[in-house]
Structure 1
């Protein structure tokens, strides 16, 4: 690559001490891990610091609150997001970053492909599928997943003026990026059985809450985000993202 690539990886964290060693060991060399502690009581923050991560404290509970706190704390040109529960390998983000840096996409999303039984509960998968269909209706994007693993440029993300601080945050990012004409790509990533219990979709109640949060995002009328993803943004709208493995 001709440009110097600097990357911050935002890792929202709520009681993930069991998973942190595995996750942080897979952060690519030279990248910075931003572990956003969202009220952990199991020593996650202390462990993350001991393992070399930068720890950001976000007292307001919520997946979106943690993600956005990490985005605001980021300093690198490129920012990645990844769950901190060992269900996704952050080492795979190198391909995401390469696509953004090369100008092939403005936002790269990971399409989760379950590996083994229990990796993705049926109720969570059903909720995700329903939301993907609603998203297609709202934006025209033919995405098959709304997973948390993604990469984009920091300034462009800040320009989207994201406001959701609950489970709707990842969806709002995609919707506003589509409205701004970003090129959005989806690529396959292995989805492993997570460490511990999911705080969002591990139960029917959690899944219902996530679907409700995201449905509110989809109900919002299209607006005009502050800016496009950069000079490489396409002029013909978001279009249909290209799926496929790496």
Structure 2
């Protein structure tokens, strides 16, 4: 019976000072476990000019060059070039302890799951290893968003962990596209979307070696994570936007026909100021919904209202736009006519003005966003 084939993939960009510690650990694991599995060590170099490549080769370690810049690009290249059926990766900066790699490998072999995540938050985070904002704000918030949008039966406990073990074939099915640090989030999202079986294993995290400049940029990379997470969630914008729009606009219409101010739980509502706020909320709701529509144009698979709009043929799109802009024009002319009734001196129909102008703006914004989506779809 053949032994499982494992590849350790190490993304590297100018890590000559820390690479010796990492490779020494990897080689010791390779030697200690040669009866359990075939272990390949692969350094995916992202353009080092400090001697990292030469040092790795001097130890007999395989080095593959990745021309596309970025953490995710280096990992993707290394994974695709790996000979192993199971991949395990961690950074070349020695902040993750590669001597803990067998825990992740044993877990995936025992449970036959698709991916094992090394959870720093469940393990031992050494003093100075993780900044306060990363530990108590960044990672927990990203955990919550990913779990809220994508998780069903499995909850992610450390979304930013850079220590993971997984089946190569599953990774290829996930089709991860990110080239930067957001690779970590997209990989989890794709695994969750494919209902992949995952497990956690506690791991340690150590501080950077003295003098090393981290590649991670807190706010830039944090925003990249958030944007990538939201990119795969157009229906979050659909649900949230429609909820705000329908609630606000229905209350706006009620305020028009209710005839005056009402008192609810001590609050006086449905006056002019309340209607203005409901108008703003309606426009905000449609704007949020429209964000999801634009995102949906970039997705390979859409459903629900977005799919129906994006599947309109040119005839239907034309007549929808014609009807919408005609209705908006008629509403505008109605306001002019009402104004003319007062010899263009003043407006004494504030409620109608707010509701009519809001309705016209909603129709206009819907039409413009539907048109934009179809223009973008032509790509």
TM-score (norm 1): 0.83
Aligned to 1:75: 83
Residues 99-178 of structure 1 aligned to structure 2 (within 5 Å): 99-112=107-120, 113-125=123-135, 126-140=137-151, 141-146=154-159, 147-178=161-192
Structure 1 spans left out of the alignment, 5+ residues: 201-205, 226-246
- Deviation string for 1:26-77 (max 9, x for gaps)? 1121421111111222111111111221111112211101110101111111
Aligned to 1:187: 201
1:218 aligns with 2:232: no
Question: Structure 1 residues 115 and 219, CA, compared in 2 at 3 Å: closer, same or farther?
Answer: closer
Aligned residues: 219
Structure with the larger strand share: 1
Question: SS of 1:68's equivalent?
Answer: helix
Question: SS of 2:156's equivalent?
Answer: coil
Aligned to 2:73: 65
The answer on whether the counterparts of 1:7 and 1:78 sit within 8 Å (CA) in structure 2 is yes
1:144 Cα deviation after fit: 2.4
Higher mean C-alpha deviation, range 188-197 or range 2-11 = 2-11
1:43 aligns with 2:59: no
Structure 2 spans left out of the alignment, 5+ residues: 31-37, 234-298, 302-379
Query: RMSD of the TM alignment (CA)?
Result: 1.9
Q: Counterparts of 2:39 and 2:99 in 1: how far apart (Å)?
A: 10
Question: SS of 1:109's equivalent?
Answer: strand
Q: Counterparts of 2:100 and 2:300 in 1: how far apart (Å)?
A: 32
The answer on whether the counterparts of 1:11 and 1:35 sit within 8 Å (CA) in structure 2 is yes
Larger Rg: 2
Aligned to 1:228: none
Structure with the larger helix share: 2
Aligned to 1:20: 19
Aligned to 2:215: 199
